[in-house]
Amino acid sequence: MVSEVAPAHGGEVHRDITGGGARASVFGISDGLVTSVSLILGVAGASVAPSFVRIAGLAGLLGGAFSMAAGEYISMRAQVELFERELAIERREIEQYPAAERQELIHIYRRRGISETLAVRLADDMMADKELALETHAREELGIDPGSLGSPVQAAVASFVAFATGAVIPLIPYLVGLGRSAALVLAIALAGTAALVVGALLGTFTGRNRWISGLRSLAVAAAAGSVTFAVGALIGVASGHS
């Protein structure tokens, strides 16, 4: 999920993407599209019946979506647990060695050019509240925001849905029961259009040129699909399919 945060000075609106869902969603669609079109064209290249392509496409969609979701969950869970461990260590140090932790804050502020007097005052104010002290040390020493560690479940669900969304696009002609040639042509057209749109959306999300990003996404999908189609055609010829 992406939420917009309006700055107090009225400038450009920033988006909060710390939850992990936004990243998983945006790139999951692209991954699903490229994976699915590669698989479908590879199987179709062997000149097998559309029913085989449909089965392979559905298997690839489910397998890829579950794999992406599991990988995203595990990686995000490990990251959150690592952050929680570091925060627990920092909390214990604040409780057991408050003077040393106060001195660390003073040194951090001094390195940033703050005067000695102000650095001491800031450190004293922060250390007066243990939760505020923990948040401050986490940000300043560890680069962690205790309130935004990320959501493994959110990232996993978003990854699954996004991958499946991208993967189903080139599979649609085979799901509706078109003939071999018509399904292949329409699958390529849908995949190409989707690649352009997804690339443009990625460009918008990252602030890059949408046309360049769209054409780059199309080129990647086309290259992957072409290679797998050629391999599938070679396998089909070798196995006697026509």
Q: Tell me, what's the pLDDT at 89?
A: 86
The CA-to-CA distance between both ends of the chain, in Å, stands at: 47
Q: What is the pLDDT of residue 65?
A: 93
Residue 22 has pLDDT above 70, yes or no: no
Distance CA 167, CA 38 (A): 10
Percent of the chain with pLDDT over 90: 31
Q: How far apart are CA 35 and CA 200, in angstroms?
A: 19
Model confidence over 171-218: pLDDT tens digits? Answer: 999 999 888 889 999 999 999 999 998 888 878 777 788 889 889 989
What is the share, in percent, of the chain residues with pLDDT greater than 70? 87
Instruction: Please give the distance of CA 84 from its chain centroid, rounded to a whole number.
Output: 22
Whose tokens are 């001491």? That residue is 120
How confident is the model at residue 163, as a pLDDT? Answer: 94
pLDDT score at 133: 81
Backbone angles phi, psi at 3, to 5 degrees: -115, 145
pLDDT tops 60 at residue 3: no
* Higher pLDDT among residues 53 and 48, named by residue: 53
* CB distance 171 to 36 below 8 Å: yes
Report, as an integer, the average pLDDT of 98-107. Answer: 86
Q: What confidence tens digit (pLDDT) does each residue in 143-152 have?
A: 777 777 778 8
Look at residue 147 in the predicted model and tell me its pLDDT.
Answer: 73
Question: HEC states along the chain?
Answer: CCEEECCCCCCCCEEECCCCHHHHHHHHHHHHHHHHHHHHHHHHCCCCCHHHHHHHHHHHHHHHHHHHHHHHHHHHHHHHHHHHHHHHHHHHHHHHCHHHHHHHHHHHHHHCCCCHHHHHHHHHHHHCCHHHHHHHHHHHHHCCCCCCCCCHHHHHHHHHHHHHHHHHCCCHHHHCCCCHHHHHHHHHHHHHHHHHHHHHHHHHHHCCCHHHHHHHHHHHHHHHHHHHHHHHHHHHHHHCCC
Is the pLDDT higher at 41 or at 142?
Answer: 41
pTM: 0.73
- Tokens for 108, please give them: 């951090």
Per-residue pLDDT reduced to its tens digit, 114-171 = 888 898 888 888 888 888 888 888 887 777 777 777 788 888 888 899 999 999 999 9
Each residue of 50-86: pLDDT tens digit? 899 999 999 999 999 999 899 889 988 998 888 888 8
In this prediction, residue 17 carries a pLDDT of 45
**Average of pLDDT values for 5-12?**
44
pLDDT reading at 14 higher than 50: no
Task: Please give the pLDDT value at position 20.
Answer: 46
Question: Rounded distance, CA 125 to CA 105, Å?
Answer: 11
Per-residue tokens: 100: 């040393």
- Of 46, 65, 4, which is closest to residue 184 (Cα–Cα)? 46
